[in-house]
Amino acid sequence: MKKILIYISAAILIVSCNNSADETVDATQQKLPGNTVTFDSAQLKNAGIQTDTASLQILHATIKANGTVDVPPQSMVSVSFPLGGYLKSTSLLPGAEVRKGQVLGIMEDQAYVQLQQDYLTAKAKMEYLKADVERQKELTDAEAASKKNYQLVLSDFKTQQILIRALEEKLKIIGIEPGSLNVNNISRDVAIHAPINGFVSKVNVNIGKYVNPADVLFELINPSDIHAAITVFEKDIAAFKAGMQGTVTLADEPGKAYKVEVILVTRNLDENRAGMVHCHFLTPQHNLLPGMFLTGSFELDNKAAQTIPEEAVLRYEGKEFVFLTKDGSTFTMKEVKTGAKENGFVELLPDDSTSWIDNRIVVKGAYSILGMLKNKLE
């Protein structure tokens, strides 16, 4: 009986010690900051954690970024008709090539007839008013008529001049040359002419449809100034300068590279912390179409950089992190900014609060530590 009591007491003591040890570990974890976690020796062995310091390397960096084929705003034209009307005829199809001045379609409406009538009527009245002004001036000079009559006629003459000038501009807006308009060529039809060389990207109207002045009938693109618009993130955009050369490849033609040169780097970032780099093709590319997806590749000058293996960098919740350690068992998660990459190594950009050379960084097993940290927080 005495032996049984001894065994029971020993078992209780062992359980009590184990519980005490577990409570000690838990208490230690609870005292650590939210971004820090401690491993015991068994956990370290199972996780296969390895640490090292950042190394100084000479990088011949290449930046790759995605973008699209684009054209500047002045090379994209939306064709509308200022007075509206019915589309009488057109033979355009998307993709059709057009030349500047080419007829894109014929519009028809009685408003065009009325405008031409108003102009010719105003011109006819102008001839009478001009003669009347001359007659009233002669009478006034001879004191055979009051000066007031002359002033009234002169006012009517100037008002008519204004009306004619305004009607001339309205005619020009719809493509009718006022100097060639006469009573014999009044027409209800007006041609729409292409304002640029290029090709048709969209046809938004069909024959017989009535269009309002604000409606876009056709959309044209001039591909002569086609270029690559590449999206570059904040950490890389400072490396781009006008005159830098690189290559781009199309998504559906990855084996063919086109040489490009940077012509413009935007000075603002969008909501994704990215800016635009615009590049001209060094040789004209008439087979490329706006909107095509591409990938740009640009080589930077050699530079000395503090680097770590790429697998040491964690990507978590849209940010990049590494784990730092001083004693090899307690690990603190630190947000970092990375730069160039080469041969499996990535550059750690300078940080005012941390010296990468003087800190040991987890280079293997970082995601195991992240998992432990997340469990701790939960």
Task: Express each pLDDT in 35-87 by its tens digit.
Answer: 899 988 888 888 888 999 998 888 877 889 999 999 988 899 999 999 999 99
**Two tokens at 60?**
């011949």
CA atoms within 13 A on the CB side of 146: 3
pLDDT-based confidence at residue 358 (cuts at 50, 70, 90)? confident
Answer whether residue 8 shows pLDDT above 70: no
Pick the CATH number of 62-73+222-303 from 2.40.30.170, 3.40.50.1100, 3.30.450.20, 3.40.50.720: 2.40.30.170
Mean pLDDT of the chain: 85
Per-residue pLDDT, 147:
73
Answer whether residue 3 shows pLDDT above 80: no
d(CA 26, CA 1): 38
Per-residue pLDDT, 63:
87
If phi > 0 it is left, if psi is from -120 to 50 it is alpha, else beta; for residue 198 that is left
**DSSP type of residue 312:** G
| Spacing of C-alpha 245 from chain mean position | 21
Alpha-carbon distance values, 237 to 243, 262, 305, 329 (Å): 14, 12, 18, 38
**DSSP type of residue 353:** T
For residues 157 and 146, the model is more confident at 157
Beta-carbon count within 10 A of 185 CB: 9
DSSP 63-97: EEEEEEEE--GGGEEEE--TT-EEEEE----TT-E
Task: Express each pLDDT in 123-153 by its tens digit.
Answer: 999 888 888 888 877 777 676 667 778 788 8
Specify the amino acid at residue 181: L
Q: Where are the domains of the chain?
A: 33-59+305-377, 62-73+222-303, 110-187
Task: Express each pLDDT in 286-320 by its tens digit.
Answer: 788 888 999 999 987 777 888 999 999 999 888 99
Identify the CA nearest to 305 among candidates 343, 341, 355, 347: 347
CB 59 within 8 Å of CB 347: yes
Per-residue pLDDT, 202:
93
| Spacing of C-alpha 329 from chain mean position | 46
If phi > 0 it is left, if psi is from -120 to 50 it is alpha, else beta; for residue 87 that is beta
Read off the pLDDT of each residue in 205-213 and give the average, rounded to a whole number.
95
Which residue intervals of the chain are DSSP H helices? 2-31, 41-47, 110-141, 147-173, 234-237, 366-377
CB 323 within 8 Å of CB 331: yes
d(CA 41, CA 60): 40
CATH of segment(s) 33-59+305-377: 2.40.420.20
Read off the pLDDT of each residue in 205-226 and give the average, rounded to a whole number.
93
First to last CA, the chain: 47
Burial 18-41, CB ≥16 within 10 A → b, else e: eeeeeeeeeeeeeeeeeebbbbee
d(CA 70, CA 229): 6
Task: Express each pLDDT in 221-278 by its tens digit.
Answer: 998 889 999 999 988 888 899 999 999 999 888 889 999 999 999 989 989 899 999 9
